[in-house]
Amino acid sequence: MELNTNDVDIKLIALDMDGTLLNEKHLVSEANRRAIQEAQDLGVHVVLSTGRSLRTCKEHADSLRLTSYLVTVNGSEIWDEKRELVERNTVNSELVQWMWELTKKHQTKYWAISPQGNWFDEMPDDLHDKEWLKFCFNTRDDEIREKIMHALHTKGEFEITNSSPRNIEVNAAGINKEKGLGIVCKRLGISMGNVMSVGDSLNDLAMIKAAGLGIAMGNAQSIVKESADWITATNREDGVALAIRKWVLN
């Protein structure tokens, strides 16, 4: 059945960042900024639900004057409206070491996120003394990517997604944006049925499927579009603003 605006009661908007809220210059457009502010003025919670860490998303949250929670590192961390930590879910350092060795075997680029910092194509000497939130592989070689995916699935210890077709993002098993948003909703006293989730990649898929209204960007990966309730414009065309105006501000 075709959805219409009377079918949904949106109390929380969950926004992915890269490829969704942010344009190709990694900026928030003025149209997106205005729509978010108007939604907040109506009392709707606007939550960044991102693969980024707090360190690399806080500036955007502050500039948007967001007054609600943040779901970061694909749900590995949840922050309240005062930017105090609600929950943290880590990947065992032995597994991080194993994935690091996998990048050497296949000669791929990589990055890793810990509460202490973000690491790009290098790892700290004290790897086992740190907490780890996410490990990511990046390669243009489809065959190598498939081999890494097979190794990860065989290990059976991970939540495996991506934030672009070229990368693989690895979190602790069972940790994703849907779970993070579920915790936020429980704390706010609302249901996932009152959530509009907007995203473009596999790390958005769970929250798009679970939300009362799942929105795929016009530039989203095919499986995300197929799973969504509605497809908006691309991140270059203010797709977030279009979705908010149609489903929340209408």
Segment 23-64, tens digit of pLDDT: 999 999 999 999 999 999 999 999 999 999 999 999 999 999
Q: What is the pLDDT of residue 6?
A: 72
Please give the average per-residue pLDDT across 172-190, as a whole number.
98
Residues spanned by CATH 3.30.1240.10 within the chain?
93-172
pLDDT attached to residue 107: 97
List C-alpha distances in Å: 165 to 138, 162, 200.
9, 7, 11
Question: What is the CATH number that goes with domain 7-88+176-247?
Answer: 3.40.50.1000
Please give the average per-residue pLDDT across 225-231, as a whole number: 98
pTM for this predicted structure: 0.96
pLDDT single digits (tens) 77-102: 999 999 999 999 999 999 999 999 99
Task: Compute, in degrees rounded to 10, the torsion defined by CA atoms 194, 245, 209, 111.
Answer: -110
The dihedral region occupied by 182, where left means phi > 0, alpha psi between -120 and 50, and beta the remainder, is alpha
How confident is the model at residue 1, as a pLDDT? 47
- Cβ burial 107-137 (10 Å sphere, 16+ → b, else e): ebebbbbbbeeebeeebeeebeebbbbbbbb
Which part of the chain has CATH 3.40.50.1000? 7-88+176-247
Closest CA to 248 of 41, 25, 73, 49: 41
- The counts of H helices and E strands in the chain are 8, 13
Catalytic residues: 16
Would you state the CATH architecture of domain 93-172? Answer: 2-Layer Sandwich (3.30)
